[in-house]
Amino acid sequence: AQRVTQPEKLLSVFKGAPVELKCNYSYSGSPELFWYVQYSRQRLQLLLRHISRESIKGFTADLNKGETSFHLKKPFAQEEDSAMYYCAPPSRGGYNKLIFGAGTRLAVHP
């Protein structure tokens, strides 16, 4: 089945350390993937989309077709980055439904 997979449920790092949240996908071609973030007591919100190739809050994500991955990276983690992160497909077109992976909880310790 076409899906995204986040193998890590929890990623715990110290402030200033690099982080990489893993996401693998099984869609064919070049899927348009997204990273959403859910901070404590806040709604889910878009963090970044691969098609824009932008950096948001210091995070970047590159689509690697060879590895079918879309890992989220940040060189220096901050405590305010602590949140749940979800890799997701688009909500339209042939995908038809927006199913999230298990998500990864990032805990950044002082």
Partner 1 sequence: GAVVSQHPSRVICKSGTSVKIECRSLDFQATTMFWYRQFPKQSLMLMATSNEGSKATYEQGVEKDKFLINHASLTLSTLTVTSAHPEDSSFYICSASRGGAEAFFGQGTRLTVV
β-strands 10-14, 104-109: how paired?
Answer: parallel
Contact 78, 99 (CB under 8 A): no
Does residue 30 bind partner 1 (CB under 8 A)?
no
Neighbours of 84 (CB within 10 A): 16
Query: What length is written for the chain?
Result: 110
Among positions 15, 22, 73, 105, the unique one binding partner 1 when judged by CB under 8 A: 105
> Which stretch in 20-28, 43-51, 61-69, 75-83 sits in contact with partner 1 by CB under 8 A?
43-51
Interface positions, 45-64, toward partner 1 (CB under 8 A)? 45-46, 49
DSSP assigned state of 79: G
**Of 12 and 76, CB closest to partner 1:** 12
β-strands 34-38, 4-5: how paired?
Answer: unpaired
Does residue 29 bind partner 1 (CB under 8 A)?
no
Does residue 26 bind partner 1 (CB under 8 A)?
no
